[in-house]
Structure 1
Amino acid sequence: MTPSPTYLIDLSACDLSRAIHQRQVSCHEVMQATLAQVDRFNPGSNAIVSRVDTDALLRQAHERDAQLARGESMGWMHGMPQAIKDLANVRGLRTSLGSPLMKDFVASEDGLMAQRMKAAGAIVIGKTNTPEFGLGSHTFNEVFGPTRNAWDPSQSAGGSSGGAAVALAQRMLPVADGSDFMGSLRNPAGWNHVFGMRPSQGRVPMQPAQDVFMAQLATEGPMGRHVRDVAMLLSTQAGAHPSSPLSLTGDPSVFAGSLDMDPKGQRVGWLGNLQGYLPMEDGILEVCESALNSFSGMGCTVDEARLGMPPEQVWQTWLVWRQALVASRIAPLLVNPANRAHLKTEALWEYDQSKNLTGAQLMAASASRTRFYLSMLQLFEKFDVLAIPVAQVWPFDVSLRWPQSIAGQSMDTYHRWMEVVIYATLAGLPSISVPAGFGANGLPMGLALIGKPQGDWDLLKLAHAYEMANQELIARRPPGV
């Protein structure tokens, strides 16, 4: 009996892999069901761009079936349709970066992310949409337009992995890759009711890269509708690479192991709004605190946690690092002054601000970052994991560039409204966004869990325990899906 398309697109990535390898379903059937789902939902959400020709994809799926018939499997993603975030290279596809200046650039070879996913058997069906250069946690650009929230198309999907998050929520992909500098894996996951994980600094090497020694705030990572899928994708993405000298050398196969654990006794530190420092829209803290109650019900202890460093100092440290790193990416495009007219204003602001930075300022920011990291280590003497809302605002009108104020407090930069996500990034810590619940507006919110240094595996196990304790919440679907 042929499985129904609805059944196929509802399967978790791990269950889909199992069904393919047990020959319960063919790769050809999976591809057909996936493309039908894309045809149904993508015109409204604009999550997947640069789509590959249907006939070419079906031929690849048929080849995967022929391999299985010969007893050959490429890996756990054998025959699994995937779309790669449009900041990463895929041979033969455009890497637009969401920029008019890059809209015609076609990659001649795969980036490391695509290499590893293809080697595990994935079939790339296109790219997922991202804001220009990945800047700003709101997925819109002048090349492809905005990606719309899976739960309300009038609202933002978040970003910069907004296309990936929406494609997951609308069952257009079984699992997805993303990247995270300032919450880009966590914020869209929270706003679309899926899981998004920022791995530890160095866990997932990124290539090609302009710089491999200093630019360590951004990382690629996994997203999924289930923690088990996130962990499996991380097992594919992670692993040291010679071209990334600071990449972690641990065996990535550990992430394919059992996630079962007894969460009883785990110590959860609730950062909340940092004792009133972070402005939050109404309802966000309440939704996240209801998720925290679930941890208490699982036998965890939940107590208030306080940053060991004044948060405004952390923000000023962040500004120096971000401006230096973002500006270095923008600078090559401004060798031609005429290109200024084709760059988003936020990118130009980052570049222009950086012109006044000195080496001494950057070294001072590095020392400040070190103090912050050490203060986080002290917190982890008291707690096993820290928790904080994944966003300070609910999804906002898709036509806006960014929120100008929160709870009456004006935002002094285009990304100040995302300040809540910088703590894991600046300390290089693993963090995963788990679905926390829904507001009175019917829109989802995520709770970010922050793990100990290089504690990705323990963090995934706790997130899995949370998922098992909240299966009814996790199973909620966007309207019409």
Structure 2
Amino acid sequence: MTESYHLPATELRRLLGTGQISAVELTEACLRRIDEVNGQVNAIVTLTADQALARARELDGDFARGRPAGPLHGLPIAYKDLTDTAGIRTTYGSPLFADHVPGTDAPVVRRARAAGAITIGKTNTPEFGTGSHTVNEVFGATRNPYDTAMSAGGSSGGAGAALAAGMVPLADGSDMGGSLRNPASFCNVVGLRPTPGRIPDPDPAAAWFTLAVPGPMARTVGDVALLMSVLAGFEPTSPFAIREDGSAFAAPLPADLTGLRVAWSPDLGGLPVDPRTAAVTARAPAVFAGLGAEVTQVDLDLSDADDAFRVLRAWRYAAVFGDLPRDRLGPNVAWNVDRGREVTAADLARAERLRSGLFHRMNDFFDDHDILISPVSQVPPFPVGQPYVTEVAGRPMPDYLAWMRSAYWISVLHAPAASVPCGFTPEGLPVGVQIVGRPWDDLGVLRAAHAFERATGHGAVRPALGPQGGSTTGR
């Protein structure tokens, strides 16, 4: 069990199902790993060791009595500190909620537990998930396991770092402007932004808001598909929930992409991209071609997504957080709330027109292409002490959002998008490639991602993080 913490969840599930390891043994291995390395990266901010071991013993007892095991039987999972967990502290990264303990589970928690998962703790996030760098006043910053001087990304940065460091085999996250994809790219793991409604989790104050979605993160595409098979499905509390269950995600993923029509955009229509990121992601088209895909470089114009995203995001911040005391909010949240209070009816109308136009143009685009590939983030991991990226490829960024256009422009398209390990910079920092599918084709995205993962093996490069380590890379 010494190295079990780095095995894929699918392999661990097989070992659990055949009785070669027990849920208690696996949970203890994860807890030991957390004890060894979490102090170096600050990924898990609330640990539920006693509850996890009690749950593991319960599951082992069920297994011994021959009771049917769920798809996630015995697998430890950590939830983002935005995800409500009944009886477990959930701070949302905010001092206002530093001691908050929800009374109910979010749908993803409820579904994972019913499938046999073991809650082991909560992962760090910026305040209310605001920003693609994980730091807050409650717990501080999360560091990148491949180089602890660097950011793990965000806002699901704690999840990405915990997975990469071997603390848990599965994690959840959420994504409005890249918060599942960016930390997956920075931490050399896999994150999927599902089609809105695929994994319902309605916001009580903005139930119709479709830009923010929950989603799975793991070390392999197969593990993400396993978690999707449990988390996906109809939820009557969501007004746009997709009625299909998650059973399709449980099927084996193919490794051949013969005939797949792949569109490659190196910059999504003129966005600045750091030369190191550009060099790594430029290798992806040849990999897809080698797998039998038909690859075409395309010249996209997604610039309308910028105004639409910013208006709708600002409106949501004012709606959800506008009643909180402004002087107790961090600068990023306060800035978003202020922008939201400036939004007019004309702004919302313009944003909806722009978003609708993009949706229809991309429908036409996907008549000719099956997937779009592009960089996830415009930069590789940056120093952990830097609040946000201020310059990309020599071009100044006007605010803390601008450097993530390559992710948040995609959010506007109502499309599923995954980040998959694509390689490393000369300094050994991870870089992911973004795989975007037509709306509702989450499975098609995972199939392409799995084949790419199998062909490259980049995700198998783990960080050299151990009891005495902390700042070396896994290269």
- CA RMSD in angstroms comes to 1.3
1:200 aligns with 2:195: yes
CA distance in 2 between partners of 1:250 and 1:271 (Å) = 31
Counterpart residue number, 1:130: 125
Alignment match of 2:342 (pick from 341, 345, 356): 356
Counterpart residue number, 1:226: 220
- 1:155 match: secondary structure: strand
1:374 aligns with 2:360: yes
User: Pairwise mapping of residues 124-273 of structure 1 onto structure 2 (< 5 A)?
Assistant: 124-207=119-202, 209-213=204-208, 215-260=209-254, 262-273=256-267
Question: Does structure 1 retain, via aligned residues, the 8 Å contact 2:132–2:155?
Answer: yes
- 1:210 match: secondary structure: coil
CA distance in 2 between partners of 1:302 and 1:280 (Å) = 21
Question: Does structure 2 retain, via aligned residues, the 8 Å contact 1:177–1:220?
Answer: yes
CA distance in 2 between partners of 1:367 and 1:390 (Å) = 26
User: Pairwise mapping of residues 14-53 of structure 1 onto structure 2 (< 5 A)?
Assistant: 14-52=10-48
Counterpart residue number, 2:305: 314
Alignment match of 1:408 (pick from 370, 394, 397): 394
- 1:179 is displaced (CA, Å) by 0.6
Question: Does structure 2 retain, via aligned residues, the 8 Å contact 1:291–1:437?
Answer: no
Q: Which amino acid aligns with 1:366?
A: E
Per the normalisation by structure 2, the TM-score is 0.95
- 1:424 match: secondary structure: helix
**Per-residue CA shift, 1:387-424, capped at 9, x if unaligned?**
11011111111011111111221111211010111232
CA distance in 2 between partners of 1:314 and 1:62 (Å) = 49
Counterpart residue number, 1:5: 2
Question: Does structure 2 retain, via aligned residues, the 8 Å contact 1:169–1:478?
Answer: yes
Question: Which blocks of at least 5 consecutive residues in structure 2 are unaligned?
Answer: 467-475
Counterpart residue number, 2:472: none
**Per-residue CA shift, 1:26-68, capped at 9, x if unaligned?**
111111101000001101101001111x344322211111110
Per the normalisation by structure 1, the TM-score is 0.94
Alignment match of 2:278 (pick from 282, 285, 290): 285
Q: Which amino acid aligns with 1:454?
A: W
Counterpart residue number, 1:385: 371
Question: Does structure 1 retain, via aligned residues, the 8 Å contact 2:71–2:230?
Answer: no
Question: Does structure 2 retain, via aligned residues, the 8 Å contact 1:98–1:129?
Answer: yes
- 1:207 is displaced (CA, Å) by 4.2
- 2:145 match: secondary structure: coil
1:445 aligns with 2:412: no
- 1:293 match: secondary structure: helix
Moved more, 444-453 or 323-332: 323-332
Q: CA, structure 1 residues 379+350, in 2 after alignment: closer, same or farther (shift >3 Å)? A: same
Alignment match of 2:87 (pick from 78, 89, 92): 92
Q: Which amino acid aligns with 1:476?
A: V
CA distance in 2 between partners of 1:445 and 1:26 (Å) = 35
> Percent of pairs identical after alignment?
41
- 1:332 match: secondary structure: coil
Q: Which amino acid aligns with 2:323?
A: P
Q: Which amino acid aligns with 2:387?
A: R
CA distance in 2 between partners of 1:468 and 1:46 (Å) = 30
**Per-residue CA shift, 1:80-103, capped at 9, x if unaligned?**
111111001001111111000111
Question: Does structure 2 retain, via aligned residues, the 8 Å contact 1:111–1:207?
Answer: no
Counterpart residue number, 1:336: none
Question: Which blocks of at least 5 consecutive residues in structure 1 are unaligned?
Answer: 334-338
Moved more, 458-467 or 185-194: 458-467
CA distance in 2 between partners of 1:112 and 1:33 (Å) = 27
Question: Does structure 1 retain, via aligned residues, the 8 Å contact 2:78–2:170?
Answer: no
